[in-house]
Structure 1
Amino acid sequence: MLSYKTLHPFCLRAGKQVKNPRSPDYVPSIFTATALSADMKEPGLLDVSDKQEARVEAANALLFLQCQGGSGLDRPGPTERESNMEGSASSSMSADDDDDDEDDESASDGKDETALTSNASVNFDDVLKALRRENRALRESVEKMSLSESSLRNDAEKVKFYTGLPNFFVLETVMLLLAPHMDAIRNVKLSKFQQLLLTLMRLRLDLRNQDLAYRFGVKVGTVVRTVHHMVNIMSSTLVPTAVFWPSRAELRKNLPAALRSSCPDCAVIVDCFTVPCEGPVAYGNKPQQGATAACNVLNYLIGVAPQGVVTFVSRGVLGNVGPRNLAESCGFLCKLLPGDVVLARRDLDIADAVAARGARFGMAEGEPPTGGAAADVQGVRAHVERVVSMVRQRYAMLTGPVESPFASAAERTSNMSTFDKIVQVACALNNLCISAAPLE
């Protein structure tokens, strides 16, 4: 047991009177009149016994403070036995807490399992059906946004927008015609249908090569090679089948109502159009000497039957060429028979050349060549303008400007450029569409 001196902070004394006023054992006296001694004047210089007493007092004070912060006033600190007991108590309490946590976790797990078991029989079938419906809707959405054969099969408007063809049946027919000739094209990334679709989109919308590369997930070089290969195949396969000059009997048999009374001998409607080029064009592997902006264009002559079918298209002639020279050099006049009537919406300065073949030339702006009624002139003019502008409106690539790789001569024997083949292919595709002029 500690003494009262040890417990009370104000009674921590050595047990004898001292004369140092800074010591707790100092007892003041009212009878002291003498001055302080030297040791009293220097309180910091205590003797050895005073220092030991101060250490003892400090130790007692620390023990008292520890006892105050502990479990009771009668013990300055925990003994070894008490420490062991406290440790065992704390461990038992933590063990109890762990047991409680495990019980809580097991209880919660049991509740979750019970909830899952109860929901399995009620909601899982509905959730599975909802997920299947969502999956089906997402697949249909992706399919509609993609450019695949299945996405175009039941969407005629989409086929017309991307290809210019009226419906998927015509597109599939073209595919069947070209597929046997596409075996030589080795392209592991694009299927045969995708190669055809990419080329038709290039002609129809005049999309850039980089745009098509992004849409189909290929490189720009793949797009360029695909377009060139497909244009060559369609030029040799599709053009001879779809673009041809009909006989006079077929022309008169299928003559539209707008021309049947006013111009029954009409054989063809002609027009000339030009397409600008992006840069200087080399024809015959020889660059054009002194080419200017006005001469850096390609000139074409197109002939359309009264029914709206393209029957003739010339090769491109570079430079500033007149319609007469173009008609005489492209072989158009050789198609005419004596008595045929050639119509145009403007003066092309080819009347003399047409007359030399025994045919007649007339313009839709004036009176029909056969002297028809004036009321029929307006219908003839509207029909001619509609037929002539039909092809270029359907395939935007024909409006130019022509890129340099397409304008250069691709074959030395025929001296035809890739763009010449593109114009012919566009005319052939136009003939597969519904006629611009109804027969009745």
Structure 2
Amino acid sequence: MSRSRGSFGQIIFADQSRIYNTSTIVGRIRVCGDHFTKNCYTKTILGIKKRKGGNVSSSFVRSTTKSGRRKGIRSSHADAAPCGQDAPEKDVGCKSRIVETSMPYADHDYSQRPPSLEEQLQEAQKTIACQEELLKLRKNRFFLERFQCDDRLIMFYTGFKDYITLMAVFMALQPTAESMLGWGQSLADQHIIRKGFEEQSPPLIDQFFLFLCHLRQGFLVQDLATRFNVSQATVSRICITWTNFLYCMLGSILVWPSREKVNELLPLSFKNTFPRTRVILDCTELHVKRATSKVLNSETYPYYKGTITFKSLVGISPYGELTFVSDLYMGSISDKEITQTSGILSLLEEGDEVMADKDFFIGDLLSPINVRLVTPAFSKSNRKLTPEEKLQTQEIARLRIHVERAIRRIKEYHIFDRTLPMTTLGSINQVWTVCALLTTFQGPLF
């Protein structure tokens, strides 16, 4: 049996099979209770065993050095009978080892003085400064909340006229957007996607903001990944997902107005000249890179343009709202073919008028459904225009110019500034339609 001094002056005795915790205090020393005789104890009224005063174990003797100085207290525990010999069934040996123990839980360290009020104030100031720094860094992130108080920047980055309109559109989309599947994600894969991959995506509102920045300013994938602190793969996934989502959601909104609504909102300039006008039509083109296939190049090459293009038909109401946008077709298609293929003829009603440019030769398509074509007059065989024809031509040109302004709104989404690669064929039609429908949230042209 050996001993060692633990924390708070505690002495611990241990052997190979039992650890004897101290139970009796002698002065400043704790010793094993087995080294006291039974006569040394008495019981209190409550039945608690208590040692009588003045009793010291004989197993401890004082030793001195040759110089006569007291060396300390030496235990003769190793020479005495093993502890617990009154319980032979234990058969505890005397070979022992030292076991260090400490208090398992220390509630307070009473030896340490509490911090002063000045120290507490300094610590509180440090915490406040740290929180202010975190708040500043959060506000400087390229997220939507950074620009919510600046409608000019909202218009610059998203194309929405103000923050309120943007949030109104998002709130309408949010219930469906929260349950939409990401690009390349099936129902079976939804439960096995890595949690870390989901967590690295921005919040839903900022995904919408990222996609709008991609369309409005034409930011490249690497640029957006740096701005939003995500991977380029995440940016690509977000853009493709929101393109298809908005194509379905916005495409389900009815933008073609009724005859009654057109008559109600018809401007005075149309009432005095062409009161039955239902739609103003024009075509526009997007430039794409030349393909390696000669057949594809011949289909996308319009001879009057001289470049490889895609073509779309756009229509607006007389009061300046976008009411029709067709899919993209190969650039070689004529205006007559695209009018016949796009499906706009099925939307017109008997007695309507369609205003278009003079090269829209669609009169034979409108005559069977009793719709009149209004185009500027042009001379044939050097015949001069009459004063009435000149006046009518000027009036049509003044009214028809609004459809070109609507097309310019769509092309202000700078994703169409650069020549589109042929690799975008899979999603360019959705992107074009989404950009056109997003312009309806800017309000009418006049």
Instruction: Please give the range of the TM-score, normalised by the shorter of the 2 chains.
Output: 0.5 to 0.7
Q: Which amino acid aligns with 1:254?
A: L
1:200 maps to amino acid: L
Question: What is the CA–CA distance in structure 2 between the aligned matches of 1:149 and 1:266, rounded to whole Å?
Answer: 41
Question: Aligned letter for 2:368?
Answer: A
Q: Distance in 2 between matches of 1:352 and 1:163?
A: 42
> Which residue, out of 405, 424, 429, partners 1:406?
424
In the alignment, residue 189 of structure 1 is paired with which amino acid? Q
Partner of 1:272: 283
For the 8 Å contact 1:261–1:372, the answer to whether it is kept is: no
What is the distance in 2 between the residues matched to 1:179 and 1:151? 20
Give yes or no for the alignment of 1:392 onto 2:411: yes
Q: 1:252 and 2:263 equivalent?
A: yes
| 211 and 265 in structure 1: CA distance in 2 versus 1, 3 angstrom threshold | same
CA gap 1:132/1:181 in 2 versus in 1, 3 angstroms:
same
Q: What is the deviation of 1:165?
A: 0.6
- 2:162 maps to what in 1? 167
TM-fit CA distance, 1:321: 0.9
**TM-superposition CA deviations, 1:135-180 (whole Å, max 9, x none):** 85x6676556432232232221111111101111221122222222
Indicate whether 1:424 and 2:442 are aligned. Answer: no
Q: What is the alpha-carbon distance in structure 2 between the residues aligned to residue 326 and residue 342 of structure 1?
A: 15
> What does residue range 264-343 of structure 1 map to in structure 2 within 5 Å?
264-280=275-291, 289=295, 291-292=297-298, 294=301, 296-343=308-355
Matches within 5 A, 1:85-124: none
What is the TM-score normalised by the length of structure 1? 0.59
Shift of 1:126: 12
Give the AA of the match of 2:248: S
Amino acid of the structure 1 residue aligned with 2:297: A
SS at structure 1 position matched to 2:252: helix
Q: Which amino acid aligns with 1:348?
A: F
Q: Which amino acid aligns with 1:173?
A: A
1:113-262 to structure 2, matched below 5 A, reads 136=132, 142=137, 145-182=140-177, 183=179, 184-185=181-182, 187-190=198-201, 191-241=203-253, 243-262=254-273
- Larger radius of gyration between Structure 1 and Structure 2: 1
Give the TM-score normalised by structure 2. Answer: 0.58
* 2:402 matches 1:383: yes
- Counterpart amino acid of residue 158 in structure 1: L
Does the CA-based 8 Å contact 1:262-1:371 persist in structure 2?
no
What is the CA–CA distance in structure 2 between the aligned matches of 1:225 and 1:389, rounded to whole Å? 28
Q: Which deviations, in whole Å up to 9, do the C-alpha atoms of 1:16-62 show, x marking residues without a partner?
A: xxxxxxxxxxxxxxxxxxxxxxxxxxxxxxxxxxxxxxxxxxxxxxx
For 1:436, the equivalent position in structure 2 comes to 445
Is the Cα contact below 8 Å between 1:235 and 1:425 reproduced in 2?
yes
The answer to which of 288-297 and 342-351 deviates more is 288-297
- Between the aligned partners of 1:288 and 1:240, the Cα distance in structure 2 is 37
Give 1:397's aligned amino acid. Answer: I
Separation in 2, partners of 1:219, 1:178: 25
User: Do the aligned residues in 1 keep the contact of 2:322 with 2:406 (CA within 8 Å)?
Assistant: no
1:326 shift after superposition: 0.9
**Distance apart, 1:385 and its partner CA:** 3.4
Secondary structure of 1:298 counterpart: strand
Task: Please tell me the residue identity of whatever aligns with 1:333.
Answer: L
Give the C-alpha shift of residue 230 in structure 1.
Answer: 0.6
Higher helix share: 1
Q: 2:283 touches 2:312 (CA, 8 Å); kept in 1? A: yes
Superposed displacement of residue 400, structure 1: 4.8
1:262–1:229: structure 2 CA closer, same or farther, 3 Å change rule? same
Whether the 8 Å CA contact 2:285–2:331 is kept in 1: the answer is no
Tell me if the contact between 1:263 and 1:370 (Cα under 8 Å) persists in the aligned partners.
Answer: no
Q: CA 1:382–1:428 in structure 2 vs 1: closer, same or farther (change >3 Å)?
A: closer
Equivalent pair of 1:181/1:233 in contact (CA under 8 Å): no
Which residue of structure 2 lines up, in the alignment, with residue 71 of structure 1?
none
1:238–1:428 Cα contact (<8 Å) kept: yes
Measure the CA separation in 1 of the matches of 2:261 and 2:325: 19
Q: Which has the higher strand share?
A: 2
| 1:356 corresponds to | 368
Q: How does 1:4-43 map to 2 (within 5 A)?
A: none
Distance 1:144 1:269, change over 3 A: farther
Deviations 1:90-110 (A, max 9, x none): xxxxxxxxxxxxxxxxxxxxx
Residue type matched to 2:215 in 1? L
* Shift in alpha-carbon separation, 1:381–1:247, aligned structure 2, 3 A: closer
Q: Secondary structure at the match of 2:323?
A: strand
Partner secondary structure for residue 313 of structure 2: strand
Give the secondary structure class of the aligned counterpart of 2:295.
Answer: coil
Q: CA deviation at 1:244?
A: 2.5
Change over 3 Å in CA distance of 1:316–1:164 after alignment to 2 = same
Alpha-carbon contact 2:280-2:400 (below 8 Å) kept:
no
What is the DSSP-based 3-state SS (H/G/I as helix, E as strand, rest coil) of the residue aligned with 1:383?
helix
Aligned residues: CA RMSD: 3.6
Q: Confirm or deny: 8 A CA contact 1:269 1:343 kept in the other structure.
A: yes
- State whether residues 267 and 305 of structure 1, in contact with CA within 8 Å, keep that contact through their aligned partners in structure 2: yes
Change (3 A) 1:434 1:196: same
Q: Structure 1 residue 371: deviation in Å?
A: 10
Residue 200 of structure 2 aligns to which amino acid in structure 1? K
Quick one: distance in 1 between partners of 2:176 and 2:125?
46
Task: Tell whether the 8 Å contact from 1:341 to 1:360 is kept in structure 2 after alignment.
Answer: yes
Q: Deviations over 1:69-91 (max 9, x none)?
A: xxxxxxxxxxxxxxxxxxxxxxx
Is the alpha carbon distance of 1:279 and 1:372 closer, same or farther for their aligned partners in structure 2, counting shifts above 3 Å? Answer: closer
Taking the aligned partners of 1:166 and 1:346, their CA distance within structure 2 comes to 34
